[in-house]
Amino acid sequence: MSILRRFVHCFFCLGVIIFNADVLAQDKPAIAIVIDDMGYDNALGQRAIDLPGALTFSFLPYAPFTPELAENAFSHGKEVLAHIPMQSFEPKKLGKDGLTWAMDKNELTQKLITQIAEVPHAIGVNNHMGSLLTQDRESMQWVVAALQGSTTEGLFFLDSRTTKYTVVETVALESGLATARRDIFFDHTDDEHAIKEQFESLVSLAKEKGFAIGIGHPKSKTLKVLFEVLNQLDDYGVVLVPISQRWVRKAPNT
């Protein structure tokens, strides 16, 4: 089935879903790659930005090298996201302004907006951790409303999918906010062979459904494998596109 036919199929299955027009222009399966947790290691961050092609970089708002590296990514024509810490079930430290279930709407909105402002050129967000918070419909409604109000067109919400019970995509689509979901994590196992296998799973998924989104981290082995495979994309039969070409949005009142 051609990619265009797949999208038409989705159109009838899900109601009026708006796809970024650039996606429809692709005649090859497409992948998007996001490197998140950016901002703590300057050298690895710079190495990530130097990877070939239209990768997207997501920065932790208060990390020491975030302002410099985000400017750098932007000046290299890469897209930038804010990587927003959200409460997980595991007792992990969230850091300053991390969003928790205990916050009311005002506090959560204020902290989210303050964090986004720390990341220059952010066109959207994705969640850092968040296995607890992304399951909470009310909290996600507040996040989505804040993202919609942040800019004229609203900021895009990429769901990192740290839990299968996430409601991010549902809430975003209900509210008409542009959204997308992570399909594959590259480097849960910090091993070159495992990372390459995860990349190949991303390619297979893209060939199956037309596109797929992978998330990796600025770690030495991940960057080494990505450098190799990104130089062989023609052989893999996929194209790399920026994250802004991956979102979907449901038209209002449908």
Contact predicate 33/239, CB 8 Å? no
* Minimum distance, C-beta of residue 55 to Zn ion, in the bound complex (Å): 16
* Minimum distance, C-beta of residue 174 to Zn ion, in the bound complex (Å): 25
Query: Which range binds Zn ion by CB under 5 A, 1-9, 124-132, 178-186, 234-242?
Result: 124-132
Amino acid at 195: I
Which residue lies nearer to Zn ion by CB, 60 or 241? Answer: 60
Query: Which range binds Zn ion by CB under 5 A, 34-42, 73-81, 106-114, 192-200?
Result: 34-42
* Minimum distance, C-beta of residue 245 to Zn ion, in the bound complex (Å): 22
Which residue lies nearer to Zn ion by CB, 61 or 210? Answer: 61
Contact predicate 120/78, CB 8 Å? no
- Within 13 Å of residue 172, how many CA atoms lie on the same side as its CB? 27
Which residue lies nearer to Zn ion by CB, 81 or 225? Answer: 81
User: Does the protein bind Zn ion through residue 182 (CB under 5 A)?
Assistant: no
* Minimum distance, C-beta of residue 103 to Zn ion, in the bound complex (Å): 19
User: Does the protein bind Zn ion through residue 78 (CB under 5 A)?
Assistant: no
User: Does the protein bind Zn ion through residue 128 (CB under 5 A)?
Assistant: yes
User: Does the protein bind Zn ion through residue 37 (CB under 5 A)?
Assistant: yes
Which residue lies nearer to Zn ion by CB, 9 or 92? Answer: 92
- C-alpha distances out from residue 78 to 30, 34, 57, 153, 192, Å: 17, 10, 7, 20, 25
Contact residues for Zn ion, defined by CB under 5 A: 36-37, 128
